[in-house]
Structure 1
Amino acid sequence: MVGTEVLRRPGGYAVQVLAVAACYYAAARLGLLRQLSVEGAVVTPIWPPTGVAVAALLILGLRCWPGITLGALFAVMSLTTFRVDVLGTLAGQTAAPVCAALLLRRARFHTDLGRLRDGLVLVFLGAMSAMLISSTVGVGLLVLAGKLNAAHFWPVWLAWWVGDAMGVLLVTPLLLSLHGARWPPPLARWKEATALAVVACILVPVAIYTSISPLFLVYPLIIWAALRFQLVGSMLCALLTSVLATVAATDGAGSFAGLSPIEIMAKLQAFNGAMALTALLLSALITEQRNTRRSVEKACQELVEVLQHLTAGEAPPPRAQPGPEGAGEPDDRP
């Protein structure tokens, strides 16, 4: 994505909006590659643009919201002609990620996802709560336009809501972690990362396309990725697994063979949701514990230095002044 420093250049805001629109549209085209039919309505099991939109708003700020609307317009116009009800769809697709960003900011969400609290906030506020807007508006417009029977509202609404929420759970954490990652990564980890990628490319297709449905085999892989590579590794594994599971589900192959469309959607979304939650929350918990350990180790090291100076009869060195984020407030006690 285009960085915030682009705003300082002439026409920088327009470039930023167009970049968000392009990313949204590209994610939409990827999401439309695989679709399922629920009660006569075509839905996508994973809708990546919602994840792209929420990440863009968190990284670039709320000013980039026109890019979401523009990208959604391009995506809708690639499927149908412009009508009045398209404006309602665009409003829902824009309002949902904007609401998610506002809720996350109000909850003091940290984009590095370094706390378990951040993972929980992203799940319950960013994904499950905010995406109620897009699913309700979208399915409601289908009913009002006569394209969907009112009796089928809830099954289609549930599929739409889960697809939007899965986009946030799978795509937003990955984009946020990649934005905050150090580049290039340390070379010492490449061997293990390569081994993890090879195992994932072998194990995940076996777990998904085997008729005995051993989907549980992917969880040790997710745990390995979370323990060793935190959020980036676990979410990459989760995204790979989710994409392959979606392909198998739409083809009615492997673990999804012989199931009805409703059963396929239920099984796929239950699996994707459980896997994404495991990857996100486990990696956030591990990151929080490691940050806590580093803080304790740093405090112990500073205490040892102070004791050494006191033992030698010297004045202890002055403590570091607080940084721009207000961390490390000086101790005014006697």
Structure 2
Amino acid sequence: MPRSEHLRRPAAALLRMLAVAAAYWAGGQIGLLQQVVVEGAVVTPLWPPTGIALSCLLWMGARVWPGIAVGVLAVIATIDTVDFSTTGLLVGNTAAPVAAYLMLRRIDFRPELDRLRDGLALVFLGALGGMLISATFGGLTLVWSGSLPLGEFWSVWSAWWAGDAMGVLVITPLLLVLRRARLPRDTRPYWWTEAVALSLASAGVALVVTRIELSLLFLVFPVLIWAALRFQLPGSAPCALLISVLAISAATAGAGPFAGRTLLELMVILQALNGCAALTALLLAAIVTEQIGIRRRIEQACSALAEVVDQLAPGETAHLWPVVDGRRGASEAAGGDE
């Protein structure tokens, strides 16, 4: 192998790690814009770096974990002094997405999220399971350093875990969709009209229900169902992110249905809304995508079967298929509209 090739591979690996570190740090800066203080500890209702880290691992493999560690250190440095007591934070925030990735890989997770099992795996293994590590290491580190009384451990732990889990549930599906985003084959005018209508409806409904005093947060779910049924994950993931961002903004400002609430009440309402919205968007989109895939495979099987029958008995089975646009075919007989 040429010497230049030996040099090129380590350089490319280093660049990937630096890119991961930069993305993690940038996500952390965005997450800290909506930080809250729980019992003296800084937590965020939505922590984007966890979703960014898991997405990078799913794209590039476990070999980019040093980039995550560097990103964690960079984020810690913007909040507090980096010393020996931050080792627990470094280990926990690095190990959590790596553990989530290893568990997902173990069960043959597909980043396309085109099966219900993939959506459930991302929820229970990637988000709820994997992020137990970061919350536990983070809370114990604060207790050990004297920054957090032992009696307040569970309140900080729960807020930490919820924020990290929401980062996976909201950010990871969106990034996985963006990586394989393509212009739709269906370019008919009504498709674009519906897409614009969905975007406006999502923004309008989310803005209204998070700013008025009436408790109408449940109105976001019809919009999410619409997005998942008609556009699958490319439509529902951005809607879930928009709803989460607007809800977090309203909660931290104490506006709308979040006005006059205690910090505990705010966190409970906010995480319940964000969690249910993310689950609805992810799981319903996965179900619809899986059903569309099954339908297409059935149509392909019918078409292949028709070709075999025609080869065995030419012309004798043509009358069994309905005429569509002057042609006969198994895909039309199967009810396909692709």
TM > 0.5: yes
SS at match of 1:111: coil
Out of 287, 304, 307, the residue aligned to residue 305 of structure 1 is: 307
Question: Which amino acid in structure 1 is aligned with residue 32 of structure 2?
Answer: L
| In the alignment, structure 1 residue 134 sits paired with structure 2 residue 150 | no
Q: Tell me, which stretches of 5 or more residues in structure 2 are unaligned? A: 1-6, 317-338
Question: Do the aligned partners of residues 302 and 185 (structure 1) sit closer, same or farther apart at CA in structure 2, a change above 3 Å counting?
Answer: closer
**Distance apart, 1:60 and its partner CA:** 0.8
Question: Which amino acid in structure 1 is aligned with residue 288 of structure 2?
Answer: I
**Distance apart, 1:159 and its partner CA:** 0.4
**Distance apart, 1:80 and its partner CA:** 1.4
Distance 1:79 1:42 in 2: 9
1:1-334 alignment, distance < 5 Å: 11-183=11-183, 187-188=187-188, 189-312=191-314
Spell out, residue by residue over 1:232-290, the C-alpha distance to the aligned partner (whole angstroms, 9 max, x if none): 11010000000000000001110100100010001100111111111110000000000
Q: CA RMSD in A?
A: 1.7
Spell out, residue by residue over 1:308-330, the C-alpha distance to the aligned partner (whole angstroms, 9 max, x if none): 1111299xxxxxxxxxxxxxxxx
Spell out, residue by residue over 1:99-119, the C-alpha distance to the aligned partner (whole angstroms, 9 max, x if none): 000000001111100100000
Spell out, residue by residue over 1:5-46, the C-alpha distance to the aligned partner (whole angstroms, 9 max, x if none): xx9666111111111111111110000000122223221000
**Distance apart, 1:169 and its partner CA:** 0.4
SS at match of 1:250: helix
Spell out, residue by residue over 1:91-142, the C-alpha distance to the aligned partner (whole angstroms, 9 max, x if none): 1111000000000000111110010000001111111111000000001000
Distance 2:193 2:53 in 1: 33
Distance 1:34 1:312 in 2: 69
Distance 2:187 2:148 in 1: 54
Q: Tell me, which stretches of 5 or more residues in structure 1 are unaligned? A: 1-6, 315-334
SS at match of 2:37: strand
What TM-score, normalized to structure 2? 0.88
Question: Which amino acid in structure 1 is aligned with residue 265 of structure 2?
Answer: E
Question: Which amino acid in structure 1 is aligned with residue 254 of structure 2?
Answer: G
Spell out, residue by residue over 1:174-226, the C-alpha distance to the aligned partner (whole angstroms, 9 max, x if none): 11122123257754433321111111121111111111120111111001111
The answer to whether the Cα contact below 8 Å between 2:73 and 2:82 also exists between their aligned partners in 1 is no
Distance 2:162 2:294 in 1: 34
**Percent of matched pairs sharing the same residue:** 55
Distance 1:224 1:290 in 2: 16
SS at match of 2:79: coil
**Distance apart, 1:229 and its partner CA:** 1.1
Question: Which amino acid in structure 1 is aligned with residue 41 of structure 2?
Answer: A
The answer to whether the Cα contact below 8 Å between 1:44 and 1:160 also exists between their aligned partners in 2 is yes
Distance 2:303 2:270 in 1: 49
The answer to whether the Cα contact below 8 Å between 1:36 and 1:265 also exists between their aligned partners in 2 is no
Distance 2:81 2:184 in 1: 44
1:4 aligned residue: none
Q: How many residues align?
A: 308
2:322 aligned residue: none
SS at match of 1:33: helix
Distance 1:169 1:282 in 2: 13
